[in-house]
Homo-oligomer: A and B are copies of this chain.
Amino acid sequence: MFIELDLQSETPIYAQLVDQIVEGIASGALKPGDPLPSIRNLSEDLGINLHTVNKAYNLLKQEGFLQVHRKKGVIVQPDGMPGVTEEFEEKLRQQLRSLAAAAAVRGMSEEAFAQESKSVYRDMIMNRGGEQR
């Protein structure tokens, strides 16, 4: 589980963290029940502030992707991930619309766009069950 941050990026650090952890779960690098580094450890490793990590963890907890366990610390949700809610679909569609519009205007075809989505998804999932950590 490697995390790479771009401190120059305009997307906030905590959001990058959230993204990468979610991708870690999606790719299978992080499995349900797996422990995550403690806030302090991770913040030190990444050279960022503890509150920034805390914010990311909290967001993921709210979304139901992580649990804060009294004994094990922070772990990946072991009791089943949240499903595809109405709310999520709405947000997904809205973001896709924005991307699709930009793609369409630049001349990318419907097939190309769908293909791109498909391959991105596939690349992410690819090595499920593969790397353990």
- Chain A residues with a Cβ under 8 A of chain B: 7-9, 12-13, 19, 22-23, 25-27, 62, 65, 67-71, 81-85, 88, 92-93, 95-108, 110, 113-118, 120-122, 124-125
Contact = CB atoms under 8 A, between A and B. Distances in A.
8 contacts: A12-B70, A22-B98, A95-B95, A95-B99, A97-B120, A100-B120, A100-B121, A110-B125
A99 B102 contact: no
Contact of A84 (B93, B98, B106): B106
A107 B121 contact: no
Copies of this subunit: 4
B121 A19 contact: no
Contacts of A125: 104, 110
A85 B121 CA distance: 21
Which of A62, A69, A95, A106 gathers most chain B CB within 10 Å?
A106
Nearest to A103: B92
Which of A82, A99, A115, A117 gathers most chain B CB within 10 Å?
A117
Contacts of A22: 98, 101-102, 105
Given A7-B69, A96-B99, A101-B26, A113 B106 contact: no
